[in-house]
Structure 1
Amino acid sequence: MTDAWLDMPTIDMASPMAGFPAHRQFVLVRLNEQGLLYAFTSTQDPNIRFLVAPPEPFFPDYAPEIENDVLAALNTKDPDRLLVMVVITAGVEETTANLLAPIIVDRDSRRAMQVILQDSGMPVRAVMHRTA
């Protein structure tokens, strides 16, 4: 990985991701030309990164309901300004997405948080198939 990520806009976590309390700032590094895959990379330690993707190309009906407390934590009132990213686990036989706990980013404030969608019935490991 080059140091180009150092010039990217920083995303501040409104609350740290589970298991990573010291990592509060990240950048989104595009991994392919189509904008389907990104590395959500810690600015404190670039070896801490999560493979993420927008859900639409893989799960077109995925529309998580974002609670008001999440909007407040992200300092936004406009859900249309939110970017939803799902965390990907790439395996040898299949690639899955965590639909239960997406990362929600406010495009204006550049604040983010990983949200657990309570009582949604969403899977932690949904098999990915590109639909478009």
Structure 2
Amino acid sequence: MTDAALDMPIIDMAVPMPGFPAHQQFVLVRLNDEGLLYAFTSIQDPDLRFLVAPPEPFFPDYAPEIENDVLAALNTKDPDRLLVMVVITAGVNETTANLLAPIIVDRDSRRAMQVVLTDGNMPVRAVMRRDY
């Protein structure tokens, strides 16, 4: 892990990500100057990282409803302080975002969890496009 990543605020998982129970702490490492792509990188194993992005530039109408039990698990006092990140899969022909299971981070408590939304209409592989 780079020295810069070690200086970043550590994000504690309120609930481990599915399939990764041993990874409890992550950092968000910005990958470009625009702040559109990040690596959600495990402190325990820096080789474990997920490509994530804020959904707004790609899916401006995306507004997931966060359940009260998630707010409680994150120790959230103000839902407006939540950071929503979608997990990205970069492919040769297209790049997709998982809109069904975003990672929600409370900016104040620095607690996070990946949430499977109750809205079953959200796609797991939404094609990412950006209007410039």
Q: Which TM-score applies when normalising by structure 1?
A: 0.97
Q: Are 2:82 and 1:73 equivalent residues in the alignment?
A: no
Match of 1:130 in 2: 130
Counterpart position of 2:36: 36
Distance 2:131 2:100 in 1: 20
Distance in 2 (CA, whole Å) between partners of 1:119 and 1:43 is 31
Residue 107 of structure 2 corresponds to residue 112 of structure 1: no
**1:47 matches 2:34:** no
Deviations, residues 93-130 of structure 1 (Å, cap 9, x unaligned): 00000000000000000000000002331000000001
Unmatched tracts of structure 2, length 5 or more: none
- 1:121 is aligned to 121
Q: Structure 1: which amino acid aligns with 2:95?
A: T
Percent identity over paired residues: 86
The 3-state SS of whatever aligns with 1:83 is strand
Alignment match, 1:20: 20
Q: How high is the TM-score relative to the length of structure 2?
A: 0.97
1:5-24 Cα offsets, whole Å, 9 max, x none, are 11110000000000100000
Residue 82 of structure 1 is matched in structure 2 by 82
For 2:80 and 2:86, how far apart are their aligned partners in 1? 17
- 2:52 and 2:94 map into 1 onto residues whose CA distance is 15
* CA drift at 1:3: 3.0
Farther off after superposition, 112-121 or 39-48: 112-121
The runs of at least 4 consecutive aligned structure 1 residues that moved more than 3 Å come to: none
3-state SS, counterpart of residue 77 of structure 1: coil
2:103 aligned counterpart, secondary structure: strand
In the TM superposition, residue 78 of structure 1 has moved relative to its aligned partner by 1.3
Equivalent position of 1:5 in the other structure = 5
Is this contact kept in 2: 1:10–1:27, CA < 8 A? yes
1:58 alignment counterpart: 58
Query: Match of 2:128, as an amino acid?
Result: M
Residue type of the alignment partner of 2:5: W
Q: Distance in 2 between matches of 1:87 and 1:111?
A: 17
Contact 1:59–1:131 (CA under 8 A) maintained in structure 2: no
Equivalenced residue count is 132
CA RMSD of aligned residues (A): 1.0
The runs of 5 or more residues in structure 1 that have no matched partner are: none
